[in-house]
Amino acid sequence: MRILHTSDWHLGRIFHGVHLTDDQSYILEQFVQLVIDQKPEVVLIAGDVYDRSVPPIEAVRLLDEVLSRILLDARVPVILIAGNHDSPERLEFGASLLARQGLHIAGQPGEANLPVIINDSAGPVCFCPIPYAEPSVVRAKLAAPDAIDHNRAMQCLVRQVTSLVPRDARAVALAHAFVAGGEGSESERPLSIGGSGMVEASCFQPFHYVALGHLHQPQNVGGNHIRYAGSLLKYSFAETARQKSVTLVDMDGAGEIVLNTISLSPRREVRCLEGCISELLAGPQNGESKEDYLMVTLTDQGAILDAIGKLREVYPNVLHIERPHLLEGGELRGPGGDHRRLNELDLFSSFFEQVTGAPLSDGQARAFTETVEALYRQNREVISR
């Protein structure tokens, strides 16, 4: 059984003010070609298909086109689940109609998510879709009062879906979660503000392979068979050093797997440049493209008039400039270091302590966390363009 695993496409993503749809379209063209060349028996997309609950029209069109080509031209079935960025209800529109064409969509957890069975010469492989869901949703949908955190919720979801897998069948899960031991990369939205939001790798013990989404760096966690395929593109400047890829999984009749990662080439690289402005204006030195998306760290000490305008004459896609010398010892840098690298709770605690002189109490921290989590939940469903 040959499986192509990808995730976190984030169609409709805006990166420092730039709509990435053209970049996503460019790389998905290669993805479709890969499906045609490698002839997998199924494509798995492990959540965060879209970047937000109401995606831009261009993103919906792009997904429509890509899925149509995979299903109708390449004739390969697709299983996809909702991630924390997708609207579960909107994503699964038409799910039972589309399933007859080989497009299996799981937006919400529950009994409708039957395992998708695909046979090879050794027998059936059961693909178990486990869409992302907050613990409160799992408690309500599965009548599971013990789903008090993400880990317990995942245990309930796995129990529910594996109860439908025949004994001795090979089983593959698709899930969207933060598995303990995984490494984040700044472009994921946290699943929980106060608590850990993590699930233990041991939740996935019943499966021969676990196709994960959520963390944007391709990586294995807790063994070879539990894997994040990583995001389609680099969605933050913290990801410049590492390569993105999709994962090709070959499974034998006993459920043993061999993994291969395949890199796709983006239309524009995401890179960081550092130097003084006069050096940088000389243009790229090592054959890099001027069109790349850049974050520039300027080492100059003094003021520079319209630095970004000057840089954009050479590098049209400079998206962000850092001026570390302007911050050092100044008022802009808070006591906790770089504020953009703190989570909401730490950031607020530091602000609170500065203003009141007293640390945030446990009760206050809880109240803050509940409020922010409620806002995130609301945001998932709010109409925004």
Residues that bind Mn ion (CB under 5 A): 8, 48
Closest to Mn ion by CB, 212 or 295 = 212
CB atoms within 10 A of CB 188: 21
Least Å distance, CB 132 to Mn ion, is: 10
Closest to Mn ion by CB, 145 or 184 = 184
Closest to Mn ion by CB, 217 or 349 = 217
Least Å distance, CB 234 to Mn ion, is: 12
Least Å distance, CB 214 to Mn ion, is: 6
Least Å distance, CB 7 to Mn ion, is: 7
Least Å distance, CB 151 to Mn ion, is: 19
Q: Given the structure tokens 């392979």, which residue do they identify?
A: 209
Closest to Mn ion by CB, 40 or 83 = 83
Closest to Mn ion by CB, 48 or 239 = 48
> What is the DSSP secondary structure assignment for residue 337, as one 8-state letter?
B
